[in-house]
Structure 1
């Protein structure tokens, strides 16, 4: 974290089941109940440190920021993942919920906004306290339903994520993603959720069906940003997610790399520092004002 313009402070916070989560916070010295807080929900098996420069950017523009790792990942990883129990539902229902509870206790009265990357967009709709979120930015957010993958390369992705990944997980008791250079090592339950062929979110946290439809509590002003060269975040995948937002009027902004003078962005690079001047202002404006100004790049699909 030494390369950041502002120091980040490490924290630990217990989920309702007692699991200790780790993360970082960027907090202004003087408390202000009018200052918005932003929680960053990471993509599947991406460490929260990946978003540090983006968090620092938001801090420099007047926000307090919380970034954390889901159980089993990064700052929240146990000594061994072999046999470790964690699912996508746990990440949303328990872990994101815990960070919302931290926001309420440590940043009392401050408006709560969320940035969710990939699965992190789904996680925003799983927490029981999600109704307290005021504004939501989802980048490349989708369910990883294989039929929604980009047509070009779909079967290669199916082979990688729905065949090889679960097979290795069965052999080892977790997915060794870091060793393969694919992502961080991943708990078996998360791999099961990812590789399921079902198109709807109907997983079982700790053996219990979800009690409510995802996003049932969400009334936030929601913006979904998808990139035309993101093989996960296709229009179909993004619209599938937005279909769960029954109590909001979400906006969908579709951006092509050429819109910002680039050749590629893909699924991950939105949060790279090189897009500080071209892509990050989109999220900043929505989090600050809840609008998309006419000068922003991309096509408004909704």
Structure 2
């Protein structure tokens, strides 16, 4: 029997985050699902429920400033991607650890969700990590037409939105949830550098724990994903130099699918992909 329980997570700075536990009666491990930029936690509910059927207590949650239900409240709201890692990811990992007690935990990060592990001071609570469509945001390494769309977002639509709204609203060239100004500006700066955030990790983002992470990382990359590809995925994996990493390049046809793209792995049609992902989770907790 699987149950869903809403939960308010409290980050180290006191900020409250919205989350949902999706759990079986007798879990054998925990699965922390961290969203891509601008994706609401509800997007991952189907996968979480499926994983719960396979014995995982899952936690889905929203980063600060995302999926708030009141976009105008983001005017002047201060949050960036670093906060999502140091404060929000860390709070979610701690909450899941309390929930599953001494059972093993695997993290599953979609896109930016795989960038956050090394920011969290409690990173060692997870015994392994799964990346799904995780790659650097550098526009020059993306597939057409993403480079053009990225440049228009970074230097056209985005600046106009910041000047008029003081945050990045949903709509126009941005199909995700509204984003705080700081998150957008930090993401834009990194995405205009071929090393993405690697230069900042060596300077302004210290202290962090990217060099300390030793738990294995399994990276799923899809051949029709315009953003995460072997080149961009390697940039992120190399940010964890002590972790044993493995990248798996998948064609949609491998799972009987016509397309997967950047977010299709989490859609209902992709249950076969879910089995492959959860098989890796099983191996990591074994």
Is the pair's TM-score, using the shorter chain for normalization, greater than 0.5? Answer: yes
Establish whether residue 273 from structure 1 lines up as the match of residue 268 from structure 2: yes
**1:147-170 superposed Cα distances (whole Å, 9 cap, x missing partner):** 221255422332234532243123
Q: Which residue of 1 aligns with 2:15?
A: 19
Instruction: Please state whether the residue corresponding to 2:9 is helix, strand or coil.
Output: strand
Aligned match for 2:237, one of 215, 232, 242: 242
Shift of 1:109: 1.1
Q: Distance in 2 between matches of 1:86 and 1:123?
A: 14
Does the C-alpha gap of structure 1 residues 290 and 111 become closer, same or farther in structure 2, counting only changes over 3 Å? closer
- The aligned counterpart of 2:218 is 223
Alignment-derived partner of residue 280 in structure 2: 286
Instruction: Return 85-94 or 167-176, whichever deviates more.
Output: 167-176
Q: If the length of structure 1 is used for normalisation, what is the TM-score?
A: 0.85
Q: Give me the whole-angstrom Cα distance separating, in 2, the residues matched to 1:173 and 1:203.
A: 27
Contact 1:169 1:175 in 2 (8 A): yes
- Report the equivalent of 1:172: 165
Alignment of 1:1-302 (within 5 A): 6-30=2-26, 35-74=28-67, 80-178=73-171, 182-196=175-189, 197-198=192-193, 199-201=195-197, 209-213=204-208, 215-276=210-271, 278-290=272-284
Q: What CA distance in whole angstroms lies between the structure 1 residues aligned with 2:17 and 2:62?
A: 7
CA contact (8 A) 1:38 1:113 kept: yes
**1:233-272 CA deviation, whole Å, 9 max, x = no partner?**
0221101111112111111011122222322111011001
CA positional deviation for 1:202? 6.2
Contact 1:85-1:187 within 8 A present in 2 as well: yes
Q: Check conservation: 2:153, 2:174, Cα contact below 8 A.
A: no
Change (3 A) 1:37 1:123: same
For residue 118 of structure 1, report the CA deviation from its aligned partner: 0.4
The verdict on how the C-alpha distance between 1:20 and 1:113 changes in structure 2, with shifts beyond 3 A counting, is same
Q: For 1:10-55, what per-residue CA distance to the aligned partner results, in whole angstroms no more than 9, with x for missing partners?
A: 000110100001110013335x6xx210000000110001000000
Distance in 2 separating the partners of 1:77 and 1:107: 32
* CA RMSD across the alignment: 2.5
Q: Which runs of 5+ in 1 are unaligned?
A: 292-302
Task: Please give the secondary structure, in 2, of the residue aligned with 1:7.
Answer: strand
Report how many residues are paired.
281
- The answer (yes or no) to whether the contact 2:29–2:100 under 8 Å persists in 1 is no
3-state SS of 1:182 partner:
coil
Cα distance change, pair 24–75 in 1 and its aligned pair in 2 (3 A): farther
Asked if structure 2 preserves the Cα contact closer than 8 Å seen for 1:42 and 1:119, the reply is yes
Contact 2:33/2:108 (<8 A) preserved: yes
Cα distance in 2, alignment partners of residues 169 and 202 from structure 1 = 26
